[in-house]
Protein backbone atom coordinates (compact mmCIF):
# COMPACT_ATOMS: atom_id res chain seq x y z
CA UNK A 1 0.00 0.00 0.00
CA UNK A 2 1.64 3.18 -1.14
CA UNK A 3 -0.37 5.43 1.10
CA UNK A 4 0.78 3.89 4.40
CA UNK A 5 2.31 6.49 6.70
CA UNK A 6 4.40 3.90 8.50
CA UNK A 7 5.42 0.65 6.87
CA UNK A 8 7.84 -2.08 7.88
CA UNK A 9 8.94 -4.92 5.66
CA UNK A 10 10.75 -8.14 6.54
CA UNK A 11 11.73 -6.99 10.03
CA UNK A 12 13.94 -9.45 11.92
CA UNK A 13 15.41 -9.07 15.36
CA UNK A 14 17.61 -11.56 17.18
CA UNK A 15 18.49 -11.61 20.85
CA UNK A 16 21.43 -13.97 21.12
CA UNK A 17 20.26 -17.10 19.35
CA UNK A 18 16.57 -16.34 19.82
CA UNK A 19 14.55 -14.80 17.04
CA UNK A 20 12.31 -12.18 18.62
CA UNK A 21 10.98 -11.16 15.22
CA UNK A 22 11.18 -13.10 11.98
CA UNK A 23 10.40 -11.45 8.65
CA UNK A 24 7.59 -9.33 10.02
CA UNK A 25 5.59 -6.94 7.85
CA UNK A 26 3.44 -4.14 9.20
CA UNK A 27 1.77 -1.01 7.93
CA UNK A 28 -0.60 1.68 9.07
CA UNK A 29 -2.47 4.27 6.99
CA UNK A 30 -2.94 7.91 7.98
CA UNK A 31 -5.79 8.24 10.44
CA UNK A 32 -5.97 4.50 11.00
CA UNK A 33 -6.15 3.02 14.47
CA UNK A 34 -4.45 -0.36 14.69
CA UNK A 35 -3.71 -2.79 17.49
CA UNK A 36 -0.89 -5.25 17.92
CA UNK A 37 -1.92 -8.35 19.86
CA UNK A 38 -0.21 -11.57 20.82
CA UNK A 39 0.76 -13.69 23.75
CA UNK A 40 3.53 -12.74 26.16
CA UNK A 41 6.82 -13.04 24.34
CA UNK A 42 5.18 -12.99 20.92
CA UNK A 43 7.29 -10.00 19.93
CA UNK A 44 4.84 -7.10 20.33
CA UNK A 45 7.11 -4.96 22.42
CA UNK A 46 10.10 -5.75 20.24
CA UNK A 47 8.22 -4.71 17.12
CA UNK A 48 7.09 -1.49 18.78
CA UNK A 49 10.65 -0.80 19.86
CA UNK A 50 11.92 -1.37 16.34
CA UNK A 51 9.26 0.91 14.86
CA UNK A 52 9.98 3.68 17.36
CA UNK A 53 13.76 3.57 17.23
CA UNK A 54 14.39 1.99 20.63
CA UNK A 55 15.84 -1.14 19.01
CA UNK A 56 17.68 -1.49 15.71
CA UNK A 57 16.34 -4.32 13.54
CA UNK A 58 18.78 -7.00 12.35
CA UNK A 59 16.99 -7.15 9.04
CA UNK A 60 14.21 -5.43 7.12
CA UNK A 61 13.30 -1.91 6.12
CA UNK A 62 11.10 0.83 7.52
CA UNK A 63 9.38 3.60 5.63
CA UNK A 64 7.84 6.57 7.30
CA UNK A 65 6.02 9.40 5.60
CA UNK A 66 7.14 8.25 2.16
CA UNK A 67 10.83 7.88 2.99
CA UNK A 68 12.94 4.95 4.08
CA UNK A 69 14.18 5.58 7.63
CA UNK A 70 16.79 4.19 9.97
CA UNK A 71 15.93 5.43 13.44
CA UNK A 72 18.90 5.42 15.78
CA UNK A 73 17.03 6.35 18.94
CA UNK A 74 13.51 7.06 20.22
CA UNK A 75 14.42 10.72 19.98
CA UNK A 76 15.20 10.23 16.32
CA UNK A 77 11.80 8.67 15.70
CA UNK A 78 10.13 11.36 17.75
CA UNK A 79 11.73 14.11 15.73
CA UNK A 80 10.45 12.41 12.58
CA UNK A 81 6.93 12.38 14.05
CA UNK A 82 6.42 9.05 15.82
CA UNK A 83 5.44 9.57 19.46
CA UNK A 84 5.48 6.69 21.91
CA UNK A 85 3.69 6.50 25.25
CA UNK A 86 5.45 3.78 27.19
CA UNK A 87 3.86 1.48 29.69
CA UNK A 88 5.84 3.17 32.43
CA UNK A 89 4.35 6.49 31.28
CA UNK A 90 7.55 8.46 30.95
CA UNK A 91 6.44 11.32 33.13
CA UNK A 92 8.70 13.15 35.57
CA UNK A 93 6.95 12.76 38.93
CA UNK A 94 8.22 15.90 40.59
CA UNK A 95 7.52 18.25 37.72
CA UNK A 96 4.16 19.88 37.16
CA UNK A 97 1.83 19.11 34.26
CA UNK A 98 3.06 21.95 32.07
CA UNK A 99 6.73 21.07 32.56
CA UNK A 100 5.95 17.45 31.75
CA UNK A 101 4.07 18.32 28.57
CA UNK A 102 7.04 20.32 27.32
CA UNK A 103 9.91 18.32 28.79
CA UNK A 104 12.69 18.07 26.24
CA UNK A 105 11.03 20.59 23.91
CA UNK A 106 10.58 23.62 26.07
CA UNK A 107 9.48 26.97 24.74
CA UNK A 108 11.93 29.75 25.27
CA UNK A 109 11.83 33.43 25.93
CA UNK A 110 15.57 33.69 25.48
CA UNK A 111 17.66 30.97 23.87
CA UNK A 112 20.98 30.37 25.58
CA UNK A 113 21.70 26.68 25.37
CA UNK A 114 20.55 24.84 28.47
CA UNK A 115 20.35 28.14 30.33
CA UNK A 116 17.64 29.58 28.15
CA UNK A 117 14.78 31.28 29.90
CA UNK A 118 11.51 29.38 29.80
CA UNK A 119 8.47 31.03 28.34
CA UNK A 120 6.13 29.74 31.01
CA UNK A 121 3.02 31.68 30.13
CA UNK A 122 3.14 30.50 26.51
CA UNK A 123 3.71 26.93 27.66
CA UNK A 124 0.84 27.13 30.10
CA UNK A 125 -1.53 28.47 27.47
CA UNK A 126 -0.56 25.82 24.98
CA UNK A 127 -0.72 23.10 27.63
CA UNK A 128 -4.31 24.05 28.34
CA UNK A 129 -5.09 23.77 24.63
CA UNK A 130 -3.33 20.41 24.32
CA UNK A 131 -5.22 18.93 27.24
CA UNK A 132 -8.53 20.33 26.08
CA UNK A 133 -8.23 19.01 22.56
CA UNK A 134 -7.22 15.61 23.89
CA UNK A 135 -10.14 15.61 26.31
CA UNK A 136 -8.01 15.36 29.42
CA UNK A 137 -9.38 17.11 32.47
CA UNK A 138 -6.74 18.33 34.92
CA UNK A 139 -8.02 20.83 37.50
CA UNK A 140 -4.68 22.37 38.37
CA UNK A 141 -1.94 22.53 35.75
CA UNK A 142 0.56 23.54 38.38
CA UNK A 143 0.22 20.39 40.42
CA UNK A 144 3.01 17.86 40.07
CA UNK A 145 2.03 14.63 38.37
CA UNK A 146 3.12 12.55 41.37
CA UNK A 147 -0.18 12.91 43.18
CA UNK A 148 -2.32 12.23 40.12
CA UNK A 149 -4.40 9.18 39.39
CA UNK A 150 -3.18 6.66 36.84
CA UNK A 151 -5.83 7.82 34.38
CA UNK A 152 -4.84 11.45 34.67
CA UNK A 153 -1.18 10.58 34.23
CA UNK A 154 -1.93 8.48 31.18
CA UNK A 155 -4.05 11.36 29.88
CA UNK A 156 -1.15 13.78 30.29
CA UNK A 157 1.19 11.34 28.56
CA UNK A 158 -1.20 10.91 25.64
CA UNK A 159 -1.87 14.63 25.39
CA UNK A 160 1.86 15.14 25.30
CA UNK A 161 2.23 12.61 22.50
CA UNK A 162 -0.74 13.94 20.52
CA UNK A 163 -0.02 17.59 20.98
CA UNK A 164 3.34 17.90 19.37
CA UNK A 165 2.44 17.71 15.71
CA UNK A 166 3.24 14.02 15.70
CA UNK A 167 1.97 11.89 12.82
CA UNK A 168 1.80 8.51 14.52
CA UNK A 169 1.16 7.78 18.18
CA UNK A 170 2.19 4.45 19.65
CA UNK A 171 0.56 3.43 22.94
CA UNK A 172 2.16 0.55 24.82
CA UNK A 173 -0.57 -1.08 26.95
CA UNK A 174 -2.24 2.25 27.71
CA UNK A 175 -4.64 0.86 30.32
CA UNK A 176 -2.72 -2.10 31.72
CA UNK A 177 -2.34 -0.50 35.14
CA UNK A 178 -5.70 1.25 35.37
CA UNK A 179 -9.01 0.61 37.09
CA UNK A 180 -12.33 0.25 35.25
CA UNK A 181 -13.36 3.89 35.33
CA UNK A 182 -9.92 5.15 34.48
CA UNK A 183 -9.72 2.70 31.60
CA UNK A 184 -13.02 4.02 30.24
CA UNK A 185 -11.70 7.57 30.45
CA UNK A 186 -8.49 6.74 28.63
CA UNK A 187 -10.47 4.87 25.97
CA UNK A 188 -12.57 7.99 25.47
CA UNK A 189 -9.36 9.95 24.95
CA UNK A 190 -8.27 7.43 22.34
CA UNK A 191 -11.64 7.76 20.54
CA UNK A 192 -11.02 11.49 20.54
CA UNK A 193 -7.72 10.90 18.75
CA UNK A 194 -9.63 8.94 16.09
CA UNK A 195 -12.07 11.80 15.58
CA UNK A 196 -9.14 14.19 15.18
CA UNK A 197 -7.62 11.91 12.56
CA UNK A 198 -4.53 11.05 14.60
CA UNK A 199 -2.89 7.81 13.51
CA UNK A 200 -2.52 5.39 16.43
CA UNK A 201 -0.94 2.01 17.01
CA UNK A 202 -1.59 0.33 20.34
CA UNK A 203 -0.30 -2.77 22.05
CA UNK A 204 -2.99 -4.34 24.20
CA UNK A 205 -3.86 -7.55 25.95
CA UNK A 206 -7.45 -6.49 26.32
CA UNK A 207 -9.40 -7.86 23.35
CA UNK A 208 -12.63 -6.14 24.36
CA UNK A 209 -10.75 -2.86 24.22
CA UNK A 210 -9.10 -3.69 20.93
CA UNK A 211 -12.44 -4.50 19.30
CA UNK A 212 -13.94 -1.32 20.73
CA UNK A 213 -11.23 1.02 19.58
CA UNK A 214 -9.31 0.03 16.49
CA UNK A 215 -9.86 -0.51 12.77
CA UNK A 216 -7.32 -3.26 12.21
CA UNK A 217 -5.77 -5.97 14.34
CA UNK A 218 -2.31 -7.42 13.76
CA UNK A 219 -1.53 -10.72 15.45
CA UNK A 220 1.98 -11.84 16.38
CA UNK A 221 2.89 -15.35 17.47
CA UNK A 222 6.39 -16.61 18.26
CA UNK A 223 7.92 -13.59 16.55
CA UNK A 224 5.97 -14.01 13.34
CA UNK A 225 3.10 -11.95 12.02
CA UNK A 226 0.31 -14.46 11.65
CA UNK A 227 -2.18 -12.08 10.19
CA UNK A 228 -3.93 -8.76 9.80
CA UNK A 229 -7.70 -8.52 10.21
CA UNK A 230 -10.23 -5.73 9.87
CA UNK A 231 -12.02 -5.46 13.18
CA UNK A 232 -15.37 -5.33 11.44
CA UNK A 233 -14.80 -8.65 9.70
CA UNK A 234 -13.36 -10.80 12.44
CA UNK A 235 -14.64 -12.38 15.61
CA UNK A 236 -12.84 -12.30 18.95
CA UNK A 237 -12.74 -16.10 18.84
CA UNK A 238 -10.79 -16.04 15.61
CA UNK A 239 -8.30 -13.54 17.03
CA UNK A 240 -7.85 -15.71 20.12
CA UNK A 241 -7.16 -18.75 18.02
CA UNK A 242 -4.67 -16.77 15.96
CA UNK A 243 -2.93 -15.63 19.13
CA UNK A 244 -2.73 -19.09 20.64
CA UNK A 245 -2.29 -21.09 17.46
CA UNK A 246 -5.26 -23.18 18.57
CA UNK A 247 -6.79 -23.14 15.09
CA UNK A 248 -4.48 -25.97 14.16
CA UNK A 249 -4.59 -28.07 17.29
CA UNK A 250 -8.01 -27.37 18.75
CA UNK A 251 -7.66 -26.75 22.42
CA UNK A 252 -4.76 -25.30 24.28
CA UNK A 253 -1.28 -25.29 22.97
CA UNK A 254 1.52 -25.22 25.46
CA UNK A 255 4.73 -23.59 24.46
Partner 1 sequence: MTRQTAVPDAAAAPAPGPASAGDERLARTRLLNQLVVRPELGSVLGAVLVFVLFSVVTDRFLTPSGVATWLDDSATLGIMAVAVSLLMIGGEFDLSAGVMTASTSLVTAIFATQLGWNTWAALAASLVFALLVGFLNGWLVMRTGLPSFIITLASFLMLQGLNLGVTRLMTGTVQVSGMRSAAGYASSGFVFASTMDIGGTTIQVSILWWLLVTAVASWVLMRTPFGNWIFAVGGSSASARAVGVPVTRTKILLFMTTATAAWLVGSINILRFTTAQANQGIGLELQFIVAAVVGGCLLTGGFGSAVGAAVGALIFGMARQGIVFARWESDWFQLFLGAMLLAAVLVNNAFRRRAERVRR
152-181: which residues touch partner 1 (CB under 8 A)? Answer: 160
Spacing of C-alpha 250 from chain mean position: 33
Position 88 contacts partner 1 (CB under 8 A): yes
Q: Assign residue 89 a region: left if phi > 0, alpha if psi is -120 to 50, beta otherwise?
A: left
Closest to partner 1 by CB, 141 or 240 = 141
Q: Which stretch binds partner 1 (CB under 8 A): 4-12, 30-38, 106-114, 238-246?
A: 106-114
CA 26/CA 36 separation, integer angstroms = 10
Question: Are 36 and 44 in contact, with CB atoms under 8 Å apart?
Answer: yes
Closest to partner 1 by CB, 171 or 242 = 171
Among 2, 67, 140, 180, binds partner 1 (CB under 8 A): 140
State which H helix or E strand residue 62 sits in: strand 59-64
Q: Which stretch binds partner 1 (CB under 8 A): 141-149, 175-183, 210-218, 246-254?
A: 141-149
CA 91/CA 100 separation, integer angstroms = 6
Among 15, 56, 75, 184, binds partner 1 (CB under 8 A): 75
3-state secondary structure of 172: strand
Q: Which residues bind partner 1 (CB under 8 A)?
A: 74-75, 78, 84, 86, 88-96, 99, 102-106, 108, 114-118, 120-121, 124, 139-140, 142-144, 146-149, 160
Amino acid sequence: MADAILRAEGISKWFGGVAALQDVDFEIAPGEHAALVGDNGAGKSTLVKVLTGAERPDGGRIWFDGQERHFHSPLDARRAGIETVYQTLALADHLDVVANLFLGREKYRVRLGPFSVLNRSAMRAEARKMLESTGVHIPDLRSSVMGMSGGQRQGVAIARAAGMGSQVIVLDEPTAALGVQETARVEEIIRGLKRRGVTMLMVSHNLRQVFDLVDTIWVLRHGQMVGRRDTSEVSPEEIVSMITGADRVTGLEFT
